[in-house]
Amino acid sequence: RKEVEQDPGPFNVPEGATVAFNCTYSNSASQSFFWYRQDCRKEPKLLMSVYSSGNEDGRFTAQLNRASQYISLLIRDSKLSDSATYLCVDADYNQGGKLIFGQGTELSVKP
Amino acid sequence: EPEVTQTPSHQVTQMGQEVILRCVPISNHLYFYWYRQILGQKVEFLVSFYNNEISEKSEIFDDQFSVERPDGSNFTLKIRSTKLEDSAMYFCASSESGPMNTEAFFGQGTRLTVV
């Protein structure tokens, strides 16, 4: 069974802090990964894709370590609006292309 | 910006009743999905649909569930004989060419409450 595991948190950080989340995935054949953001009782929204070489989008940096099968998300200079649950996602390499979600890591940014 | 729309936003039904959850995917998208999220738990895949047929379904998606694309725009999830444990948020999603290559867009969800 293909799984994605995350520390559920919560991570409570002050505004301006740098915070990092990790997740691990079980399927060594997986090719595509994403970070989604989910606000309370709302739909998941794509934050960023995760590329093998690592990638950055503004204050957000994603890294992939295939040897250890873990993915990370770094948020720099955190804002109050970053408060949400961050979902680590494995896109199953299959005709259907389903998304396998971790349980999410809750982030709370305080003033 | 194009979006996936779901109706109703909240559905309350009695145990044993049938419900139909409706979704209108983004118009040029070819891949459609249903996911569910029980309160406090992870988002779980139910079914994927492509070219007018199911391409994959999870073990959750048993004979109680069915999907249909009755016309060129709607994508529905039918749950027969609902049970208390079917209470969850149901999300519809669509993508242009499969989520591995393009973003999967989620609707705002239908909160199903079975009483």
Q: Which residues of A69-83 are buried (b: 16+ CB within 10 A; e: fewer)?
A: eebbbebeebeeebb
| DSSP-derived secondary structure letter, B73 | S
| Rounded CA separation B113/B100 (Å) | 32
pLDDT in tens, B58-87: 999 999 999 999 887 899 999 999 999 999
Residue A94: pLDDT band (50, 70, 90) is: low
| Rounded CA separation B74/B95 (Å) | 15
Query: How many residues are listed for chain B in this entry?
Result: 115
Best residue in A43, A50, A88, A106 for a mutation probing chain B (most B CBs within 10 Å) = A43
Provide the pLDDT for residue A41.
85
Contacts of residue A67, Cβ cutoff 8 Å, sequence gap at least 6: none
**Is residue B16 less than 8 Å (CB to CB) from chain A?**
no
- Mean pLDDT over A91-108 rounds to 84
Task: Mark yes or no for CB contact B45/A42 under 8 Å.
Answer: no
A72: nearest Cα among A60, A84, A59, A82: A60
Which residues on neighbouring strands pair with residue B35, listed in sequence order? B45, B91
pLDDT in tens, A38-74: 999 899 999 999 988 889 999 999 999 999 999 999 9
Cis peptide before A10 (omega within 30 of 0): yes
Task: Read off the tokens for B84.
Answer: 């208390």
What residues in A contact B104, CB-CB < 8 Å? Answer: 46, 99
**In chain A, what percentage of residues exceed pLDDT 90?**
79
DSSP, collapsed to helix, strand or coil, labels residue B58 as: coil
| Rounded CA separation A60/A99 (Å) | 21
**Is residue B45 less than 8 Å (CB to CB) from chain A?**
yes
pLDDT in tens, B26-60: 998 999 999 999 999 999 999 999 988 998 999 99
Q: How many CB pairs under 8 A join A and B?
A: 62
**Is residue A9 less than 8 Å (CB to CB) from chain B?**
no
Task: Read off the tokens for A89.
Answer: 């996602």
Evaluate whether B11 touches B69 at the Cβ level (below 8 Å): no
Residue B108 distance to chain A (closest CA, Å)? 5
Task: Read off the tokens for A31.
Answer: 């090719």
Task: Mark yes or no for CB contact A43/B106 under 8 Å.
Answer: yes
Residue in chain A nearest B10 by alpha carbon:
A41
**Is residue B56 less than 8 Å (CB to CB) from chain A?**
yes
| Rounded CA separation A22/A5 (Å) | 9
Nearest to A102 among B42, B107, B111 (CB): B42
- Region of residue B40 (left: phi > 0; alpha: psi -120 to 50; beta: else): left
Contacts of residue B88, Cβ cutoff 8 Å, sequence gap at least 6: B36, B37, B38, B39, B111, B112
Task: Mark yes or no for CB contact A100/B35 under 8 Å.
Answer: no
